[in-house]
């Protein structure tokens, strides 16, 4: 096992990883930009190093500074969290070249699995059904020709990255050229890769993802599915597990097919396979995320399995002693993402309590929420024995959560979970559009 890990991230996920490391007896190294010098993850880590000014490309995305800091501090491994360099195969290669373990999949596998066109080709050889689409398109004319064959509407999608960046819905040929140029520009700015491809637009549908955990010895377990259909502009707002729209029979079949596909790919680590679930009962494979997900917490609450700890163990070569028969997914868990709508200084903070209520955050009274990074300031998660109780528990927790000094989206989250379609579980990806 590692004795020291550098966390190449900030905010609530850096805090989450540091806490897991402390429980495992692992020393931690925090890195921070000048804007984050007083941040919670800096205070909690055993060591901390400033790696540059607030622009991410001069600090959190500076590969040389991160690796140099790991070497100087004596860290044996780097945990990338999510976002930033978490899916960057070149960074993973640079870590390996310098004798540092990247806590994630093998760099060459990351290149194949992280490329959304390559992973679709890989899973097409398994029982999973990829959404009909194209390889990477070089020109708007190629996109026009392909869309004509696929049939409108279509989705333009970035080959790399995630977080809803580089995605555009195209309803007809008159929109395609402009949308293609916008998607390419956004993908290049967000991920340094302007490659985009086309997919058939599956509509209406639910966004369902399956959490997997695999080791280097070929052992794979599926930790249930999450419903991530509450989204705005392809950005997730709320997640729950299990999905109220998936039957137990369909769930078991999906878990079996996903486990088989993960083994066939040879994946090792924590990962997520994402699907669109249509009204005809088809699970259409979209992509695989090769990192920890923001919404991993609901799976942890449901299964009582610490995904961060297992991500670290697997990277250290520990064999999974958990089998599929050990996975228990009774009850229901819900997560609401708490986003800052304005920057500012936290002058009041009250966190809800009670059994099975969790708030993952980096906030404290006096903390500065800067305008430079992702707006996520916390995640409120609840668990209960049945879904109805989990919904009521989340309402109570949201009403109790107080964050003063900045504007946050607590009221909107209350409105979402109080909506009739959410309460009866009949919602899909059209939910926020309809609202």
Known active-site residue 291: yes
Q: Which two tokens stand for residue 405?
A: 């000094």
Residue 254 DSSP symbol: H
Q: What is the DSSP string of 6-72?
A: EE---HHHHHHHHHHHHHHT-EEEEEE-GGGTT-HHHHHSSEEEE-SSSSGGGTTT-HHHHHHHHHH
Distance CA 150, CA 221 (A): 35
Distance CA 268, CA 301 (A): 23
Helix (H) or strand (E) holding 414: helix 410-418
Distance CA 84, CA 89 (A): 12
**C-alpha torsion 276→291→191→140, nearest 10:** -30
* Three-state DSSP class for residue 379: strand
| Residue 138 C-alpha from the chain's centroid | 28
Distance CA 331, CA 305 (A): 15
Which one from 291, 313, 337, 358 is the annotated catalytic residue? 291
Contacts of 272 by beta carbon, 8 Å cutoff, 6+ apart: 209, 210, 211, 212, 288, 289, 293
- C-beta of residue 405 within 8 angstroms of C-beta of residue 379: no
Q: Which two tokens stand for residue 236?
A: 């997730």
**C-alpha torsion 408→410→416→422, nearest 10:** 130
- C-beta of residue 34 within 8 angstroms of C-beta of residue 54: yes
Helix (H) or strand (E) holding 146: helix 140-150
Handedness of CA 165, 271, 378, 59 (dihedral sign): negative
- C-beta of residue 137 within 8 angstroms of C-beta of residue 146: yes
Find residue 101's DSSP bridge partners. 77
Contacts of 323 by beta carbon, 8 Å cutoff, 6+ apart: 219, 221
Q: Which two tokens stand for residue 28?
A: 């931690």
Q: Determine the length of the chain.
A: 435
Residues involved in catalysis: 291
């Amino acid at each position: 096992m590692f004795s020291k890990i550098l966390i190449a991230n900030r905010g609530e996920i850096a805090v989450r990883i540091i806490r897991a490391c402390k429980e495992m007896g692992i020393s931690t190294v925090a890195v921070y930009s000048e804007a984050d010098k007083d941040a919670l993850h800096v205070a909690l880590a055993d060591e901390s190093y400033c790696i540059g000014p607030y622009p991410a490309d001069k600090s959190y995305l500076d590969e040389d500074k991160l690796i140099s800091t790991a070497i100087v501090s004596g860290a044996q491994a780097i945990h990338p969290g999510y976002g930033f360099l978490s899916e960057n195969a070149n960074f993973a290669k640079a870590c390996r070249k310098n004798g540092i373990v990247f806590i994630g999949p093998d760099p060459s596998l990351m290149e194949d699995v992280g490329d959304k066109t390559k992973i679709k080709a890989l899973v097409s050889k398994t029982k999973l059904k990829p959404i009909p689409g194209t390889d990477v398109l070089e020109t708007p004319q190629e996109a026009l020709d392909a869309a004509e064959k696929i049939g409108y509407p279509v989705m333009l999608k970035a080959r790399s990255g995630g977080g809803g960046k580089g995605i555009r819905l195209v309803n007809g040929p008159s929109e395609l050229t402009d949308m293609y140029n916008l998607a390419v520009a956004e993908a290049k700015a967000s991920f340094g890769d302007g490659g985009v491809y086309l997919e058939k637009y599956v509509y209406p549908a639910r966004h369902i993802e399956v959490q997997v955990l695999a080791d280097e010895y070929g052992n794979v377990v599926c930790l249930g599915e999450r419903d991530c259909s509450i989204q705005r502009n392809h950005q997730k707002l709320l997640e729950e597990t299990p999905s109220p729209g998936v039957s137990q029979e369909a769930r078991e079949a999906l878990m079996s097919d996903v486990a088989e596909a993960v083994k066939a790919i040879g994946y090792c680590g924590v990962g997520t396979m994402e699907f669109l679930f249509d009204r005809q009962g088809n699970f259409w494979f979209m992509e695989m995320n090769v990192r920890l997900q923001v919404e991993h917490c609901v799976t942890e609450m449901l299964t009582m399995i610490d995904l961060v700890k297992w991500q670290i163990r697997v990277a250290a070569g520990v064999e999974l002693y958990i089998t599929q028969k050990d996975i228990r997914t009774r009850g229901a868990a819900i997560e609401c993402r708490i986003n800052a709508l304005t920057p500012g200084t936290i002058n009041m903070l009250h966190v809800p309590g009670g059994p099975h209520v969790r708030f993952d955050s980096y906030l404290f009274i006096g903390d500065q929420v800067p305008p430079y990074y992702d707006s996520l300031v916390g995640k409120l998660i609840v668990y209960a024995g049945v879904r109805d109780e989990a919904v009521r528990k989340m309402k109570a927790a949201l009403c109790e959560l107080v964050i003063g000094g900045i504007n946050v989206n607590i009221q909107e989250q209350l409105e979402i979970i109080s909506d009739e379609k959410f309460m009866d579980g009949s919602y899909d990806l059209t939910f926020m559009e309809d609202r």
